[in-house]
Chains A and B, each alone.
Chain A
């Protein structure tokens, strides 16, 4: 199982998504990767409604990629997602997973191979945590022994010690813990594809942030293909390798990397969705780790920031300390190693630079497995 080595690799990497070039499936560990998902000209009209809820959407998602569907309430995000596991049958169009037409598969069997996480967790209140997680493996015919081992492993992975939690009922867990169980349950049979509909929506900001970080760390190990729905653009920026900004009837306004969308919103609709502070958000996506640092200056009275932070955090610290440069160090305590410094001009240059060599010119490049490797 791919997940056992997790804790040994607890992230020293930044928590924002990797840059566009590292998205190629080649980065995914062998054997655990996801499968491509293709929506081809898919439409859903609900009976009795004039306008279709989803109007001719075409969307290609590379193996091992997190694509976030973001858009206002009622724009058709959930409908689009549910067509992938056929909880909603498309009116027309084709859906392929790993090249297979899912509309030709047995719906129940197909769903067992697609992880599904929803905001309300949907845990079965009358079953213990272990039973909840073990359901899909059992339906797939796994032995009791193998299922039990897998359940234990997954509880460890999502940070709930099995000894303490396996025999509890859902109501005996906090909301955040229930969400983790929801994720564990979706991962149970190691499906190549996961659908997540506002999975962290019902939690407080701090818990959400932690769940997001943990999930991204997990995903770096697993390399699943993930469709993630949210209406929170900041969550989209954080979680998405690519983001599909959807307008009414699930019409794609822009489909690109977070960096590219912030740098060059396709139209006013996308801009309005980004809201104010788009450039600040771009800084937030740039890790200090990737920045060109200046040598450590002679002055010793500068504030210090950890190299795990983003350029946005560096700017924040400059504003806070009233100085136009800060030291970048292993940690904030002042005792760790100091790697260099960064100045306000550097931040401006980073923004200007990134816009100049805009990676959004060829959004399909990442779908080609040979790209970026």
Chain B
């Protein structure tokens, strides 16, 4: 049978709970209704916050912090079909956490792979986020990363810009991350109005662009390497590539 969940962490936790309650595993676990064909038997998992919280509390007690972190991180890889693998992985972790060392187990390898990839995107975003200064001197950045790294990058920027207020806006997921110099939070939004830029903003953007162009060495031109390091999908909001 195919199980259908809603793609949130809570939804996943409920699916996990169901697998224990029913003592069985789904043949397929997915969040994507469009992959289900007409005659497939489907079990729609209802997301219940209370069940999810209970499951979470259970995992917190039972699992090593690293394992739990890896599970949470995997649920942020929203461009991959991780659900069934993660379900198996979590059950394996609860049963025998020594098995998690064995990279030749396909689920272990897959889940570690997801996390690694996520962290690579996080590290890239540390560099590729571009803030614009707004009218009121606060900073605003738009991003559209391939997976949902917004919740993971806030601390980094809060640490380095402790005294500045900023918002990072994930335009493909409609989430914003807000640092108001005291608290850090992620909120879903419906839509955003166009930002009003600071009078100096264009000037610094121009200076940055001329720095970017002057720093390249003609004799070493290598667009292939450049594209490999900054894939096109990251360039949308990077002003130097505009």
| Bound pair (A, B) | no
